[in-house]
Chains A and B, each alone.
Chain A
Amino acid sequence: GQQLNQSPQSMFIQEGEDVSMNCTSSSIFNTWLWYKQEPGEGPVLLIALYKAGELTSNGRLTAQFGITRKDSFLNISASIPSDVGIYFCAGQTNSGYALNFGKGTSLLVTP
């Protein structure tokens, strides 16, 4: 599968700040998913997006499925120390349901 372009690669912020990260692809996807992974664990699904233009929230997290279907962003508002981890975007076509992952955004939050 193809790899997505995810940026930024890492972020070092203070507690309370807002965070924004995004993913782009050269191909169209039918689904965008955002996962969080903590050290030594598997990814945990945060938000799933199913149609172009869709904006979905999960608590302090908000994600959007780009109109072109080639991009997505994730925002975290009022960050807290437990937001620390690596955030991955993943795009999916219908065929086979396999996920194509971004390279991840490593988030560090200082109290």
Chain B
Amino acid sequence: GAVVSQHPSRVICKSGTSVKIECRSLDFQATTMFWYRQFPKQSLMLMATSNEGSKATYEQGVEKDKFLINHASLTLSTLTVTSAHPEDSSFYICSARKLGGSNPYEQYFGPGTRLTVT
């Protein structure tokens, strides 16, 4: 299998606080994890690419100091939304690419985290 989990599934926080979202590959090791953001009725937009043990690569327009990514192990990546504001409210989804998989191009997605900033 290729199961990816995210925690929490839903979080509500107050404006100005920070929120950490975890992404775990449960039954495989992931060389690379990706973080996406999805607004209602819209497509997934890549925020950053995270490789284990190195700094994340952010897409143009994504503030790296606001969206802190840590990929400390081959099974865990975290996204921290710092000083969250209402406009950061969104559905955040991670995906993982399997280490040594027969199909290196396939990405397996987590179930997503719904962030609401009040």
Sort chain B's interface into a size bin. 20 to 34
Q: Given the complex, which residues of A lie within 8 Å of B97, measured CB to CB?
A: 97
A42 at the interface (CB under 8 A from B): yes
Binds B, one of A33-41, A52-60, A62-70, A76-84: A33-41
Measured CA separation A99–B70 after assembly (Å) = 20
The one of A45, A98, A103, A104 in contact with B46, judged by C-beta atoms closer than 8 angstroms, is A98
**B44 and A88 contacting across the interface, CB-CB below 8 Å:** yes
Instruction: Name the CB-closest residue of A to B42.
Output: A103
Interface centre among A33, A42, A44, A103 (most CB of B within 10 A): A42
Q: Given the complex, which residues of B lie within 8 Å of A30, measured CB to CB?
A: 105
**A101 and B44 contacting across the interface, CB-CB below 8 Å:** yes
B residues 23-56 near A (Cβ < 8 Å) are 32, 34, 42-46, 49
B residues 68-87 near A (Cβ < 8 Å) are none
The one of A41, A45, A92 in contact with B108, judged by C-beta atoms closer than 8 angstroms, is A45
**A41 and B112 contacting across the interface, CB-CB below 8 Å:** yes
Decide yes or no: A96 and B44 within 8 Å by CB, A48-B103, A48-B105 being known contacts.
no
B63 at the interface (CB under 8 A from A): no
**B57 and A96 contacting across the interface, CB-CB below 8 Å:** yes
Interface mask (A71-109 → B, CB under 8 Å = 1, otherwise 0): 000000000000000001000100011111111100000
Interface contact tally, CB-CB below 8 A: 63
Q: Given the complex, which residues of B lie within 8 Å of A48, measured CB to CB?
A: 103, 105-106
B100 at the interface (CB under 8 A from A): no
- In the A-B complex, the 5 residue pairs with the smallest Cβ-Cβ separation, listed nearest first, are A42-B109, A31-B105, A101-B43, A103-B43, A42-B111
The one of B4, B32, B43, B104 in contact with A104, judged by C-beta atoms closer than 8 angstroms, is B43
Q: Given the complex, which residues of A lie within 8 Å of B42, measured CB to CB?
A: 103-104
Q: List 17 A-B contacts (CB under 8 A).
A: A3-B43, A41-B111, A42-B4, A44-B109, A45-B106, A45-B108, A48-B105, A50-B105, A96-B49, A97-B32, A97-B49, A97-B104, A98-B46, A98-B49, A99-B34, A99-B95, A100-B46
